[in-house]
């Protein structure tokens, strides 16, 4: 490092002189840093919009699934205690009448006579020496260890064995043991639990069987059976709770108009929020005279001055951007073009939803909610198809594709363009040095970073040379002054 000597001999402020010289020299470096900051702001803007689109697109995807969008409501009347029902998204509208004659029961087997009331911690070897090394329940073999296993550990092994399909229980007070099938209805053809092994058959004496039975019921007047008390009919989840009284249970499923309206209102709000954000970015004013501040400029300004300056400097980073303009145009077009649903062409306006005034930039408006509700109740499939239709085949014409699917597909193109232009947040934050952002802006930043390093090194060397020159001057002047002083002294001065 060069020793820097201030102007003791010359009387000049060397540091200030070098600073002013370098301030002029470093102007090209400041421009590079300003360009770097501008590109970073542009990339940040792209990625902020990218995240907003991803969030909206994910919501649209949820709505593209008919099951998610198609709301159904189910009501039980008549005997409301015997049956409960829950409509799911793909339930078929209509009425189901159910009369429960017998509930389905689970098979069980228990000890015909109790053991001595051993604690659960009792080792098997303390009970009997002829237990064997395994037991078998419903063709599932469970290994046991006479010296290590206890009554409690055997219970756990049985309950944790999914293939055994039973729940084991031991009552320490009575010394009795039981197995209950995890499923109701007849099993193994005869309704009994199949067991084998000396421990179960002879030690625990499991020989008192109760066969599982199927539910006996009448559905829409037809006698039938079910092996379980929980089943589905036409997309309706039904649970049998008790025998029916004199009157049957009547399950009525119909389109949940309120649910669909609420989902569409939510979509309209989310869409308007996105389209407003995109339009705002496209139209945001660009103040080209307000460049990013240099370090010297920032040091000379007050905090509020810096804030006001940077607000203008950051404004309009995506002004008139072609990707955003294309995204807005496609979004608006997807809403206005008709959709062919079951051979019938339909548009948003036909169900009371319209686009706003021209100056609102393509916002959606639920202009007539009563008209929307009427359309849903009259032909719910047509309304749902307007938004969720997928068309036939992968290359279905756009006229057969619903609004949600159109938007979902086109926004993928927009996101791909963003990635090509600005990369992804993962690349930007990755610690993997080999993973570089090869987007357009990413490559610009890589080059700018290198140029800034090169320029910084160049100007650091230049500053060092100036200090060397001034230091040499100071040393020469100091030497001259010393010589002059000596000469003056020798002459009797």
Both 151 and 30 in one domain: the answer is no
Both 322 and 369 in one domain: the answer is yes
Q: Read off the CATH number of the domain in which 192 is found.
A: 3.30.70
Residue 350 has pLDDT above 70, yes or no: yes
Residue 360 has pLDDT above 80, yes or no: no
Taking Cα atoms as reference points, which of 170, 142, 177 lies closest to residue 157? 142
- Asked whether residue 287 is domain-assigned, the answer is yes
Residue 351 has pLDDT above 50, yes or no: yes
Q: Give the pLDDT band (50/70/90) at residue 471.
A: confident
pLDDT score for 425: 58
Residue at which a domain ends, from 370, 402, 429: 429
pLDDT score for 404: 93
Both 338 and 407 in one domain: the answer is yes
pLDDT score for 476: 72
Give the mean model confidence (pLDDT) for residues 231-243.
93
Angstrom distance (rounded) from CA 122 to CA 128: 11
Residue 9 has pLDDT above 70, yes or no: no
Q: Give the pLDDT band (50/70/90) at residue 13.
A: low
Give the mean model confidence (pLDDT) for residues 47-62.
92
Q: What is the pLDDT of residues 368-397, one digit of tens each?
A: 999 999 999 899 889 989 998 887 767 778
- Structural domain range at position 179: 106-213
Q: Give the pLDDT band (50/70/90) at residue 355.
A: confident
Residue 430 has pLDDT above 50, yes or no: no
Taking Cα atoms as reference points, which of 170, 160, 119 lies closest to residue 140? 160
Q: Give the pLDDT band (50/70/90) at residue 193.
A: confident
Higher pLDDT, 3 or 342: 342
Q: What is the pLDDT of residues 256-282, one digit of tens each?
A: 889 889 999 999 999 999 999 999 999
Angle between helix axes 27-64 and 257-283 (nearest 10 degrees) is: 160
- Asked whether residue 354 is domain-assigned, the answer is yes
Both 86 and 185 in one domain: the answer is no
Is the model's pTM score more than 0.75? Answer: no
Both 273 and 421 in one domain: the answer is yes
Site of tokens 């669909």: 260
Residue at which a domain ends, from 384, 405, 429: 429
Residue at which a domain ends, from 409, 429, 449: 429
Half-sphere exposure of 269 (CA within 13 A, CB side): 6
Residue 483 has pLDDT above 70, yes or no: no
Q: What is the pLDDT of residues 279-319, one digit of tens each?
A: 999 999 999 999 999 888 898 999 999 999 999 999 999 99
Give the mean model confidence (pLDDT) for residues 48-57.
94
- Asked whether residue 456 is domain-assigned, the answer is no
Higher pLDDT, 217 or 395: 217
Both 41 and 80 in one domain: the answer is no
Task: Characterize the bridge pairing of strands 339-341 and 344-346.
Answer: antiparallel
Q: How many C-beta atoms lie closer than 10 Å to residue 381's C-beta? A: 14
* Arithmetic mean of pLDDT over the chain: 86
Element of type H or E holding 102: strand 94-102
Angstrom distance (rounded) from CA 425 to CA 199: 62
- Asked whether residue 493 is domain-assigned, the answer is no
Q: How many degrees, rounded to 5, is the angle at CA 47 between CA 43 and CA 48? A: 115
Both 135 and 244 in one domain: the answer is no
Both 264 and 125 in one domain: the answer is no
Both 290 and 176 in one domain: the answer is no
Site of tokens 């040091």: 299
- Asked whether residue 12 is domain-assigned, the answer is no
Q: Give the pLDDT band (50/70/90) at residue 116.
A: confident
pLDDT score for 493: 53
Both 296 and 409 in one domain: the answer is yes
- Asked whether residue 40 is domain-assigned, the answer is yes
Both 171 and 244 in one domain: the answer is no
Angstrom distance (rounded) from CA 290 to CA 214: 80
- Asked whether residue 449 is domain-assigned, the answer is no
Q: Is 51 helix (H, G, I), strand (E, B) or coil?
A: helix
How many distinct structural domains can be found in the chain?
A: 3
- Alpha helices, DSSP H only, in 380-430? 380-388, 403-422, 425-429
- Asked whether residue 248 is domain-assigned, the answer is yes
Q: Which two tokens stand for residue 314?
A: 């950051």
Both 333 and 400 in one domain: the answer is yes
Q: Give the pLDDT band (50/70/90) at residue 1.
A: very low
Q: Which two tokens stand for residue 212?
A: 């599982």
């Amino acid at each position: 490092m060069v020793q820097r000597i201030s102007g003791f001999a010359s009387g000049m402020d060397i540091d200030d002189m070098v600073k002013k010289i370098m301030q002029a020299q470093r102007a090209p470096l400041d421009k590079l840093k300003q360009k770097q900051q501008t590109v970073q702001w542009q990339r940040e803007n792209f990625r902020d919009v990218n995240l907003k689109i991803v969030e909206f697109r994910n919501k649209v995807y949820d709505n593209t699934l008919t099951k998610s969008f198609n709301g159904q409501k189910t009501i039980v009347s008549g005997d409301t205690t015997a049956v409960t029902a829950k409509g799911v998204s793909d339930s078929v509208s209509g009425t189901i009448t159910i009369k429960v004659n017998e509930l389905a029961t689970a098979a069980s087997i228990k000890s015909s006579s109790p053991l001595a009331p051993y604690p659960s911690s009792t080792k098997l070897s303390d009970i009997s020496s002829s237990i064997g090394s395994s037991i078998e329940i419903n063709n599932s073999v469970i290994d046991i260890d006479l010296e290590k296993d206890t009554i409690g550990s055997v219970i756990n092994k049985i309950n944790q064995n999914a293939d055994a399909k039973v729940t084991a229980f031991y009552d320490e007070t009575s010394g009795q043991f039981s197995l209950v099938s995890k499923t109701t209805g007849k099993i193994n053809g005869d309704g009994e639990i199949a067991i084998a092994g000396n421990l179960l058959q002879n030690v625990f004496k499991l020989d008192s069987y109760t066969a599982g039975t199927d539910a006996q019921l009448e559905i829409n007047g037809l006698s039938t059976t079910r092996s379980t008390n929980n089943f589905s009919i036409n997309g309706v989840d039904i649970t049998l709770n008790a025998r029916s009284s004199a009157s049957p249970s009547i399950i009525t499923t119909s389109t949940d108009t309120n649910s669909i309206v609420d989902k569409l209102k939510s979509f309209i709000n989310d869409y308007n929020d996105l389209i407003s954000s995109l339009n705002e970015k496209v139209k945001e004013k660009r103040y080209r005279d307000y460049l990013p501040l240099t370090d010297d400029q920032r040091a000379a300004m007050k905090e509020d001055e810096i804030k006001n300056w940077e607000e203008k400097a950051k404004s309009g980073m995506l002004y008139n951007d072609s990707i955003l303009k294309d995204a807005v145009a496609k979004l608006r077009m997807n809403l206005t073009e008709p959709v062919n649903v079951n051979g019938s062409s339909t548009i948003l306006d036909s169900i009371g939803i319209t686009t706003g005034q021209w100056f609102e930039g393509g916002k959606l408006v639920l202009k007539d909610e009563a008209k929307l509700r009427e359309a849903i109740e009259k032909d719910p499939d047509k309304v749902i198809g307007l938004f969720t239709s997928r068309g036939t085949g992968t290359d279905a014409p756009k006229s057969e594709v619903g609004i949600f699917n159109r938007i979902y597909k086109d926004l993928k193109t927009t996101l791909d363009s963003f990635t090509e232009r600005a990369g992804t947040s993962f690349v930007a934050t990755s610690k993997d040095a080999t993973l570089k952002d090869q987007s357009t802006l990413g490559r610009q930043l890589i080059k700018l970073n290198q140029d800034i390093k090169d320029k910084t090194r160049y100007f650091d060397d230049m500053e060092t040379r100036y200090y060397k020159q001034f230091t040499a001057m100071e040393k020469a002047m100091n030497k001259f002054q010393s010589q002059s002083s000596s000469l003056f002294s020798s002459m009797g001065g």
